[in-house]
Amino acid sequence: MSIRIYYDQINYRIRKSKEIRRFLDKVIRDENKVPGDLVFIISDDETVLKINREFLKHDYYTDVIAFDKSEDGLVSGEIFISVDTVRVNARECKCRVQEEVVRVMIHGVLHLCGYRDGSPEERKRMFEIQEKKVAQIRESLL
């Protein structure tokens, strides 16, 4: 089991990535799940848009796309993050880019743990958990 972060030809790096990976492991365990292999690919708007169009048939920019590859009880998958959209979101919510990157990482992990955000009720529940986790890590790492 491992959590890896790759950067796809962008000029951005996550600070304290080792500690953040440990925290994401804890997020999974807090959901009574077992961490498997997780890969985060930090990329740009055009790459994530292409993935969104090709695999999800959605024609819009997004900050995060999670592909669930969980099996045998292990939470595994690939999570694509557009740092371009994350930067816009960070300006809008008046937070640091690092915080917003971690927020969407948590969001993607929660999807792999089984949370959905398709309905208002699902969205509310998922975002409550997400923001609780962001608050926990903000105190120590952000």
Q: Residue 119 maps to which CATH number? A: 3.40.390.30
Over the stretch 16-33, which tens digit does the pLDDT of each residue have? 999 999 999 999 999 999
Q: Domain residues for 113?
A: 2-140
Do residues 108 and 69 touch, judged by C-beta distance below 8 A?
no
Q: What pLDDT, on the 0 to 100 scale, is given for residue 2?
A: 94
Long-range CB pairs of 48-54 (<8 Å, 24+ gap) are 48/80, 48/81, 48/82, 48/85, 49/82, 51/80
pLDDT band at 1 (very low <50, low <70, confident <90, very high): confident
Do residues 109 and 30 touch, judged by C-beta distance below 8 A?
no
Mean pLDDT for 75-92 is: 98
Q: Above 80 in pLDDT, residue 141?
A: no
Over the stretch 32-67, which tens digit does the pLDDT of each residue have? 999 999 999 999 999 999 999 999 999 999 999 999
Mean pLDDT for 109-120 is: 96
> Can you tell me the distance from the alpha carbon of 48 to that of 52, in angstroms, rounded to the nearest whole number?
6
Strand order in the sheet with 74-82: 2-7, 34-43, 74-82, 64-68
pLDDT band at 130 (very low <50, low <70, confident <90, very high): very high
Mean pLDDT of the chain: 96
Locate tokens 């309905």: which residue?
119
Domain count, the chain: 1
Q: What pLDDT, on the 0 to 100 scale, is given for residue 73?
A: 82
pLDDT band at 142 (very low <50, low <70, confident <90, very high): low
Mean pLDDT for 78-103 is: 97
Give the DSSP H/E element, type plus range, for residue 54: helix 45-56
> Can you tell me the distance from the alpha carbon of 75 to that of 53, in angstroms, rounded to the nearest whole number?
25
Give the DSSP H/E element, type plus range, for residue 92: helix 83-93
